[in-house]
Structure 1
Amino acid sequence: MESDQPQSPKRVNPSSQPWQFNDAFDIVAAFLQNATSQYMTEGGKVATLTSKFASETARHVRKGARIAIEDGAAKTVA
C-alpha cells in the first residue's frame, strides 16, 4: 500500500552525478555571458543616441544664439 503523502525532494549531490552539475554550470555561465554581452551592446547604443542628442541640442542652441544676436543687431541699427 502506497502513501498518499508526497515524497520529499531529493537533494542534488554534485559528486554522485558530476555531469549534471557541469551541464547546469555551463548553461548558467553561457546565459550570464550572453546577458552581459547584450547589456554592453545596448549600453553602446544608448551612448550613441545620447551623443547624437547632445550634438543636435548644441546645434539648436548655437542657432538660437545666432538669431538672438542678429535680432539685437537689427534693433540697434533700426
Structure 2
Amino acid sequence: MRKLPQRRGLMLAATLVTALLAGGCASMDQCSKNTAVGAAVGGVAGSVLTDQSTLGTVGGAVAGGVLGRGRGC
C-alpha cells in the first residue's frame, strides 16, 4: 500500500472533519449558517493570502463572519 503524501493526507483529514462538523449545523437558522460559512471561508482565505499567518487567519475569519452575517439578520 502506498503512503499518501503528508499534504494530501492533511487535506483529506480536514475535509472529513469539515463534513462531520457540517452535520451539526442542521438545526441552525439561515443567519447562523451564513455566519459560520463566511467565517470558515474567510479564515481559509486569510490564511492563504497571508502565508498562513495566525493574525491573517483570525482576521479573515472575523471579516468573513461579519460579511456572511450580512444586513438581513
TM-score bin, normalised by smaller chain:
0.3 to 0.5
TM-score scaled by length of structure 1 = 0.31
- Structure with higher Rg: it is 1
TM-score norm. by structure 2 comes to 0.33
